[in-house]
Amino acid sequence: MNLLVTGGSGFIGSNFIRQRLTEKGSVIGKLVNLDALTYAGNPANLADLASDPRYVFVHGDIGDEALVARLLADHAIDAIVNFAAESHVDRSIDSPEPFVQTNVTGTLRLLNCAKRHWAKLPEPRRAAFRFLHVSTDEVYGALSPTDPAFTEETPFAPNSPYSASKAASDHFVRAFQHTYGLPTLTTNCSNNYGPYHFPEKLIPLMILNALDGKSLPVYGDGQQIRDWLYVEDHAAAIWLVLQKGRVGETYNVGGLNEKPNIEIVNTICALLDQKSPRADGKSYTTQITYVADRPGHDRRYSVNCAKLQAELGWAPRENFASGIAKTVDWYLTHRSWAADITAKKYARERLGTVK
C-alpha cells in the first residue's frame, strides 16, 4: 500500500507513521508525508526514519492542489490519511481564521484532489482506494457529569472555533462520500497523550514546567473531565479502520479513561516525585496554580467506542496508569527534543494550559 499522510510531522501523525514503518510485516510500499511544518509540525519527530527508502517527506500545504495532485500521481497513492489540522483551542479563540483556512478549506481542496485521483484509477485499485479523515470528539460539544458518552450518532454541537472548523471538515468528508461516492472514512478521537506531544498541551506542559521549576497552571477548578487515549493505541485504531472500516462510516476512538484535569496534574506530579525528585525534597504539587478559566471551556467529553470494538475488534493496550508512566519516562529521556521546540518555535510565546 502506498500512503499519503498529511500532517505527518505532528504529534499523532508522526506516531502513526512510526508505527506503520517499524511494525513487523509492514505492508507499506511508499509513505509520503506532506506537512506544512507550522508551529506544531516538527521534522525531528521522524528524523531517525528519514533514511528509510519507503519514506518521502514533502514540505507543502494540503491546500496546494497542484502539489497534492502531483504527489498522488507520482507515488501511485492507494490511500490518504488526513491528520493535517490546526488543533489548539486557545489559539482558535485568539484567531479563528487559520483554523478555517487549514481545517475547512484545506480539507476541501484535499478532497477535490482525492476525488480526481480516485476517478482515474483502474480497477481494482479504484475499489480499494480510501480517504481517512482524522477528527475529534469536540465536534459533539460538551457533556454534563451524568450524560451518556458521545456516540457516532450524537448531533454535532461544536463550542469553539477549533471544533467548529473540524465539524465543517467532517461534513465535507461525508458530503464527498454521499455526493460523489468517494470512499471515505472518519475517526473522531478523544484527548491523545504520549511521545512527541507538542509542549503547549496539558500533559507535556505539566511535565516540562514541573521539571523547569515553573508554575503548573490549571484552568478554573480543574474539574474539566476528558477521556484520555494513548497515542499509539489511536494510531493502531486508525490503521485498523483504514484497512477494515466500512466505507462512509464514522468510528469513535476513546481511551476508556475519563479523568478530571486536576487528577491528571496530580498524577504527573506523583510520578515525577518518584522518578525525578525536586532538589529541595518538596512535591511538584507545590507548583500547581489555578488560573482564570478559558472562555467557553467545555466541562466534559466522553467517547463511546463500542462500534469500533464490536465491528473491528479494537481495544486500547494501555490503561491510563501504564500510558502516563510511559509518557513521563519519554519526556524525562527526551529533554533535548522539548528544549529544541521551545527555543526555536516558542521563544516569544507564552506556554498556556489546554483542554
- Res 309 pLDDT > 90: yes
Give the model's confidence band at 348: pLDDT under 50 very low, under 70 low, under 90 confident, else very high: very low
CA within 13 Å, CB half, 236: 16
Residue 279: is it exposed, middle or buried by C-beta count within 10 angstroms (0-12/13-18/19+)?
exposed
To the query of whether residue 153 is one of the catalytic residues in this protein, the response is no
Side-chain-side CA neighbours of residue 113 (13 Å): 24
CB 176 within 8 A of CB 130: no
Using DSSP's 3-state secondary structure scheme, residue 150 falls into strand
Q: Encode pLDDT of 51-61 as tens digits.
A: 999 999 999 99
CATH number 3.40.1160.10 is the correct assignment for the domain at 2-193+229-255+298-320? no
Do residues 180 and 243 touch, judged by C-beta distance below 8 A?
no
Model confidence pLDDT, tens digit, residues 115-158: 999 999 999 999 999 999 999 999 999 999 999 999 999 999 99
Give the span between the Cα atoms of 309 and 318, in whole angstroms.
Answer: 15
Q: How high is the pLDDT of residue 340?
A: 85
Residue 117 grid cell = 485521483
Residue 253: beta bridge partners? 189
pLDDT tens digits, one per residue of 90-119: 889 999 999 999 999 999 999 999 999 999
How many other β-carbons are positioned within 10 Å of the β-carbon of residue 50? 10
Q: What is the pTM of this model?
A: 0.94
Model confidence at 200: pLDDT above 90: no
Report, as an integer, the average pLDDT of 46-55: 96
Enumerate helices (H) and strands (E) in the chain, giving the number of each.
13, 12
Q: What stretches of the chain show up as alpha helix (H) in DSSP? A: 11-22, 65-74, 89-94, 97-99, 107-120, 125-128, 161-180, 202-211, 231-244, 261-275, 306-312, 320-333, 335-345
Instruction: Count other Cβ atoms within 10 Å, centred on residue 94.
Output: 11
**Pick the catalytic residue: 35, 138, 170, 200?**
138
Using a pLDDT cut of 90, give the percent of the chain over it.
89
At residue 82, the 3 state secondary structure works out as strand
- Would you state the pLDDT for residue 222? 96
Cβ–Cβ under 8 Å, residues 185 and 132 = yes
Domain ranges of the chain: 2-193+229-255+298-320
Is 162 annotated in the active site? yes
Task: Say which of 55, 140, 162, 251 is annotated catalytic.
Answer: 162
Per-chain mean pLDDT for the chain: 94
- The whole-number pLDDT of residue 234 equals 98
Distance CA 171, CA 212 (A): 42
Residue 166 has pLDDT above 70, yes or no: yes
Spatial strand order in the sheet of 79-82? 55-59, 30-35, 2-6, 79-82, 130-136, 184-189, 250-253
Answer yes or no: is pLDDT of 343 > 90: no
Predicted local confidence at residue 355, as pLDDT: 41
Active-site residue flag, 170: no
Q: What's the pLDDT at 344?
A: 64
278: left (phi over 0), alpha (psi -120 to 50) or beta: beta
Residue in 303, 305, 304, 293 with CA at minimum distance from that of residue 355: 293
Q: Among residues 35, 61, 137, 258, which one is catalytic?
A: 137
pLDDT digits (tens, 9 = 90+) for 211-223: 999 999 999 999 9
- What confidence score (pLDDT) does residue 345 get? 56
Residue 346 has pLDDT above 60, yes or no: no
> What is residue 142's predicted lDDT score, i.e. its pLDDT?
95
When pLDDT is cut at 50, 70 and 90, the band that residue 354 belongs to is: very low
**What's the distance, Cα to Cα, between the start and end of the chain in Å?**
36
